[in-house]
Amino acid sequence: MIPGGESTTIGRLMQEFRLGDKILERAAQGMPIWGTCAGMILLAKDIAGSEQYRLGLMDIRVKRNAFGRQVDSFETDLDIEGLGQTRGVFIRAPYVEDCWGGARVLCRFRDIIVMVEQGRQYLATAFHPELTESRDVHRYFLDMMRI
């Protein structure tokens, strides 16, 4: 799990403590990874207008702070493919501007991509399922790993 937070800070620490290299090593061996919000940014190959550190494991281009500032954070109902309705909490969230290759869109909010999976190994959510009572997305991630 790569949690939310500040992707530039998490990325800097990943570099400084060489955690990023370790994660990439394990990912190459098949370790599943789910990134939420800042975690999604760190999984992306492309970050619009930014050169910041990233793991670059998913075929997605993300836009940071794409819904506005902290005060523009919001909650909404989402409809996720293969999962159904869930509640989405967006906190200064990014969204996915584009995806290609192995990335598959699982959820859009008003035409905007907010959840993507890749190869049954990587999952990215722009929102925070850990801030709701529902465990549906957590269960989805576990099922994904089982194949």
> Could you list the residues that contact ligand GLN (CB under 6 A)?
4-7, 37-38, 41, 64-65, 91-92, 94
59 within 8 A of 53, measured Cβ to Cβ: no
111 contacts: CB under 8 Å, gap ≥ 6: none
Q: How far is the CB of 105 from ligand GLN (least distance, A)?
A: 20
Q: How far is the CB of 11 from ligand GLN (least distance, A)?
A: 9
Q: How far is the CB of 75 from ligand GLN (least distance, A)?
A: 13
Q: How far apart are CA 6 and CA 11, in angstroms?
A: 8
Q: Which is nearer to ligand GLN, 52 or 102 (CB)?
A: 52
Please report, to the nearest 10 degrees, the dihedral formed by the alpha carbons of residues 39, 51, 103, 80 taken in order.
Answer: 40
Q: One of 99, 107, 117, 128 is an active-site residue; which one?
A: 128
